Amino acid sequence: MTAGTGTAAEHARVGDQLETCEKVVYQRALAEREFSAESIHNDDYTRRQGYPGALVSAYVLCGYMTEPLVRFFGSSWFTSGEISLRFIGTGVQQHDSVRCGGSVREIVPDSDHLHRRVLLDIWIEKANGLRPVVGTASAIVPGSPGQPVSSTGSGHPGLAPPESAK
């Protein structure tokens, strides 16, 4: 990870995959607190409502998703990062194994035409292949959209290695 030069985002091309990040979900409040009988964070209640168990809070999952984005965008994420997430289906439960991933959807010029905004589709995937969290993320990086790049991403922290290197 570097401060402003050489981030994966600066070398990204449409279709590049975000370096994935694997987690075992843990929310401290679910481990330490008792929740009321009609709380979304109460196991018995959510099971009666058709969920596998108490729902982990959105802010926890948002935190997981930002880790690979910080790796990808570097310091730009802190000054221009935008993230939009939807939490769908039966949610995520405590101790689920999840994988945060994404791919570059679009690279567009920023308003000053000296920078570009790199836009990704992002998701969190459970071990069963379901994606209870989907959305988009973007941040501004130096350079114009048409600027040639020297690499497809190999060797840049934050990008998944190309297939040939796996």
Partner 1 sequence: MSKLIPFDAIIIGTELGPVETLVSPQRVQEYCQDWDDANPWYLGDSPFGRPVAPPAFLAGLTSFQLLGSRYDAWSTIGVQTYHRNLRPIPVGETLVTRGRIADKYVKRGLEYVVVSSTTYASDGMPCRESTDHILLSLERVQQ
Residues that bind partner 1 (CB under 8 A): 1-4, 23-24, 26-28, 35-36, 38-41, 45-46, 49, 55, 57-60, 62-67, 69-70, 74-75, 77-88, 91
Rounded to a whole number of angstroms, the minimum distance from the CB of residue 64 to partner 1 is 7
CB-nearer residue toward partner 1: 40 or 119:
40
What SS3 class is residue 43? helix
Alpha helices in the chain (DSSP H): 28-32, 43-48, 58-73, 76-80
Considering the complex, what minimum distance in angstroms separates the CB of residue 41 from partner 1?
7
- CB distance 18 to 72 below 8 Å: yes
Rounded-to-integer distance, Cα 11 and Cα 154, Å: 9
- Indicate the residue among 9 and 60 with the shorter CB distance to partner 1: 60
C-beta separation of 11 from 157 below 8 A: no
Q: How far is the CB of 136 from partner 1 (least distance, A)?
A: 10
